[in-house]
Amino acid sequence: NAGVMQNPRHLVRRRGQEARLRCSPMKGHSHVYWYRQLPEEGLKFMVYLQKENIIDESGMPKERFSAEFPKEGPSILRIQQVVRGDSAAYFCASSPTAEGPPEAFFGQGTRLTVV
């Protein structure tokens, strides 16, 4: 049973480009959470999605950031027109229930570097 899979593991983008981060939840999980981790800081909640629905996007910047979790396929976190401040590690977690990310169900993260 594969864990939460994120790709790519590392992504380099120039300022102004788009970044697309993918998260495949564990099999049978229909709840996905995205977190951002800046260097030397903890994880900050961005968005919580269920299949085809955004439940809570209160932690996601209103501009340039969007997330989706289609009926088929991985969840996508999209950052348009990236800026240097977007450089961070982005983690995805999945759960089978709505009780928040349970133990061990985090992906390895995507490290975005904006140059």
Partner 1 sequence: SQQGEEDPQALSIQEGENATMNCSYKTSINNLQWYRQNSGRGLVHLILIRSNEREKHSGRLRVTLDTSKKSSSLLITASRAADTASYFCATLSTGGFKTIFGAGTRLFVKA
Q: Please check whether residue 31 is in contact with residue 43, taking contact to mean a CB–CB distance below 8 angstroms.
A: no
Show the site string, 71-110: x = touches partner 1 by CB under 8 A, - = not: --------------------x-x----xxxxxxxxxxxx-
Is residue 45 part of the contact set for partner 1 (CB under 8 A)? yes
Shortest Cβ 81–partner 1 spacing (Å): 27
Among 23, 32, 48, 49, binds partner 1 (CB under 8 A): 48
CA distance 22 to 64: 17
Q: Please check whether residue 31 is in contact with residue 16, taking contact to mean a CB–CB distance below 8 angstroms.
A: no
